[in-house]
Amino acid sequence: SVKRQGGNGHAFFDAVQEEELREELTMARELRESIKNRELELVYQPKMDARTLQVTGVEALLRWRHATLGMVSPSRFIPIAERYGLIDPIGDWVADTALTQAARWREMGLRMRVAINVSGYQMRSDEFIDRLEKGLRRHRLRPERFTCEITESVAMEHATVTGRAFRRLGALGVHVSIDDFGTGYSSLAALRQLPAQELKIDRAFVADVATSVEAQAIVRAVVEMARVLQMKVVAEGVETVAQRDQLVAMGCDELQGYLFAKPMTALAIEVLAAEPDTSTEGRTEGFRPSIFVETAA
Ligand code: C2E
Ligand code: MG
Ligand code: MG
Ligand code: MG
């Protein structure tokens, strides 16, 4: 239980809280202008086939280039966007930018999926899916090449509404990925109610997978659940060769992490695609991912 600290303690605590709130309000006000001021950017991190290291797709990750604060992490500003009613315009900007980029890459012949992260608020709104459907049609993109990632905790917290959204996306052909999986203790039964194509094992388990038997047991259990439900398993945050070897041995389908590639600009993705195919080397020594380019788009 919280012990009262006396007058001064409280006054200090309140001052800190007030300062934090002031900062948050300032950030919310600036975030409101961020789209118009062109301060938002997407970077893209490759997801690789665990065996061939062929790039299967990229995940779009949002960046806010703030005039004085520099790069602000999405972990910091996405919660503020949600609290201050800004997640809809920001989420729409992310979806539209990613769709535009995906269309450009398709024109270039790059064969890969594009994933975006979707917040719980967006996922529960019919309008978001309506706009996504229109966007896919406008860009003449195959929905099967597009993925929406949503965290396990958010998905399970509002399982009924989320389940409906997943089924709508499924009907469109868009893939759904359950992000940061393993932290929310979802049962196989609960997971069955949320039709998704992909499970992403949380970075925390990946970090420990080479050294901790518990982490290994969790990864094994997740892979097993995914097999039963015919879902793909992706491990995120892979940083070492030891982690990679363990994850491949345990049957993860795809890998993502700094060991292979950091999030990069769209242009850097195109440079990667232009480089010679190193996927066969990837099986032994080299870790450089490669992107399949179709002849004649
Ligand atoms: P996430 O979707 O789980 O993304 C993975 C995070 O891990 C990213 O952080 C990525 O840069 C980082 N990462 C990737 N590989 C490694 C690695 O090997 N080691 C380590 N230490 N980290 C790695 P980032 O970009 O800061 O994003 C943080 C979170 O913010 C994301 O977690 C996602 O939940 C959220 N987010 C990012 N972009 C968006 C967006 O457009 N919309 C929404 N709603 N949320 C977003
Ligand atoms: Mg994600
Ligand atoms: Mg994640
Ligand atoms: Mg995360």
Atom from ligand 1 closest to the CA of residue 87: 44
Q: What is the mean pLDDT of residues 151-158?
A: 91
ipTM above 0.95, yes or no: yes
Distance of CA 99 to the CA centre of its chain: 15
Q: Residues 149, 118: contact at Cβ < 8 Å?
A: yes
Q: What is the mean pLDDT of residues 63-86?
A: 95
To which residue do tokens 């597009």 refer?
A: 146
The reply to whether ligand 1 has any atom less than 6 angstroms from the CB of 119 is yes
Helix (H, G, I), strand (E, B) or coil at 217: helix
Residue of 44, 88, 117 to test ligand 1 pocket, by largest number of atoms within 8 Å of CB: 117
- Would the pLDDT of 286 be above 80? no
Q: Residues 168, 127: contact at Cβ < 8 Å?
A: no
Residue bearing the CA closest to ligand 1, atom 6: 237
pLDDT tens string 135-150 = 999 999 999 999 999 9
**Model pLDDT, residue 297:** 43
Angle of the 87-107 helix axis to the 74-83 helix axis, nearest 10 = 130
Q: Residues 4, 23: contact at Cβ < 8 Å?
A: no
Q: What is the mean pLDDT of residues 261-273?
A: 94
- Nearest bound ligand to CA 118? 1
- Would the pLDDT of 295 be above 70? no
pTM (predicted TM-score):
0.92
Q: For residue 188, which amino acid is it?
A: L
pLDDT tens string 38-56 = 999 999 999 999 999 899 9
- Helix residue ranges per DSSP H, 139-282: 152-157, 159-172, 188-192, 203-208, 213-228, 241-249, 266-274, 279-282
To which residue do tokens 């990864």 refer?
A: 219
The reply to whether ligand 1 has any atom less than 6 angstroms from the CB of 261 is no
The reply to whether ligand 1 has any atom less than 6 angstroms from the CB of 94 is yes
DSSP bridge partners of 49: 254
**Model pLDDT, residue 242:** 97
- Would the pLDDT of 272 be above 60? yes
**Model pLDDT, residue 3:** 45
- Dist. CA 127–CA 118, nearest whole Å: 13
Helices (H) and strands (E) in the chain, counts: 13, 9
Q: Residues 246, 217: contact at Cβ < 8 Å?
A: no
Q: Residues 58, 111: contact at Cβ < 8 Å?
A: no
Residue bearing the CA closest to ligand 1, atom 29: 75
- Dist. CA 236–CA 202, nearest whole Å: 6
- Would the pLDDT of 287 be above 80? no
Q: What is the DSSP letter of 143?
A: G
Largest CA distance in the chain: 74
Atom from ligand 1 closest to the CA of residue 43: 25
Atom from ligand 1 closest to the CA of residue 61: 38
At 207, list the tokens. 């970090």
Atom from ligand 1 closest to the CA of residue 116: 41
**Model pLDDT, residue 240:** 96
The reply to whether ligand 1 has any atom less than 6 angstroms from the CB of 202 is no
- Would the pLDDT of 223 be above 50? yes
- Would the pLDDT of 83 be above 70? yes
Q: What are phi and psi of 219, to 5 degrees?
A: -60, -45
Helix (H, G, I), strand (E, B) or coil at 99: helix
Q: Residues 175, 200: contact at Cβ < 8 Å?
A: no
Q: What is the mean pLDDT of residues 274-294?
A: 63
- Would the pLDDT of 238 be above 90? yes
- Would the pLDDT of 62 be above 90? yes
To which residue do tokens 């594009």 refer?
A: 114
Distance of CA 151 to the CA centre of its chain: 8
Residue 124 pLDDT class (50, 70, 90 cuts): confident
Give me the percent of the chain exceeding a pLDDT of 70: 91
Angle subtended at Cα 210 by Cα 209 and Cα 215, rounded to the nearest 5 degrees: 25
Residue bearing the CA closest to ligand 1, atom 12: 237
Q: Residues 145, 114: contact at Cβ < 8 Å?
A: yes
**Model pLDDT, residue 2:** 44
Contacts of 45 (CB under 8 A, 6+ apart): 58, 59, 61, 256, 261, 262, 263, 264
